[in-house]
Amino acid sequence: MNFDKLNNWLTLGANLGVLIGLVFLIIEVQQNNQIARAEIRMDIADEMRSNIDMFTSQEGVSIQAKLIRGEELTLEDEIWLRRTMRKEIRSWESTAYQYSIGFLDEEEIEIYRNFWRNRASECKELSGSIFFDEFRTFEPQIRPSFRNLFNDYFDEFDCE
């Protein structure tokens, strides 16, 4: 009888130990999730800064000035602009994916959606038409959900 009581207490202690271990594991997973979200947000911010840096570089400013003055772009200018836009599209697609898996909330993605919509609205301007053409060229390599979002924007502004 004494042995059965001891065994029951030991079993209860072991079960409590497992339960406490599970609670600590859940807390640790939640903390790791928060850290992962913060890292994703920092990566997105770094990518956005990198995109801005490209357009504020001497080459980027020179190309923008040509566009504003209505000057012809050189082949090199157009290649630079297309590569930059492709990098931008890929970066935005990644941002949309992070939202789709829950690493960005609705408030955060809304900021990007407004920016993307504004970019799509420029489709009839020279730089916007280059963006539109590049998007169409790159489209088969873009995730369908993100492609559809931009296609809706393009339809809204009669970009075709």
Burial class (CB in 10 A: 0-12, 13-18, 19+), 40: middle
Q: Nearest-CA neighbor of 160 among 125, 124, 130?
A: 124
| Chain mean position to CA 135 | 16
pTM above 0.85, yes or no: no
- Residue-wise pLDDT for 19-48, tens only, equals 898 888 888 988 888 888 778 778 887 887
Q: Nearest-CA neighbor of 112 among 96, 128, 123, 100?
A: 96
Q: What is the pLDDT of residue 135?
A: 93
Residue 71: which region, alpha, beta or left (left: phi > 0; alpha: psi -120 to 50)?
A: beta
Give me the residue spans of the domains in the chain.
47-156
Give CA–CA dist 88/37, Å, rounded: 21
Q: Identify the band that residue 1 occupies on the pLDDT scale cut at 50, 70 and 90.
A: low
Q: What is the pLDDT of residue 53?
A: 80
Instruction: Copy the structure tokens of residue 108.
Output: 């955060």
Sign of CA pseudo-dihedral 104, 108, 112, 118 = positive
pLDDT at 51 over 80: no
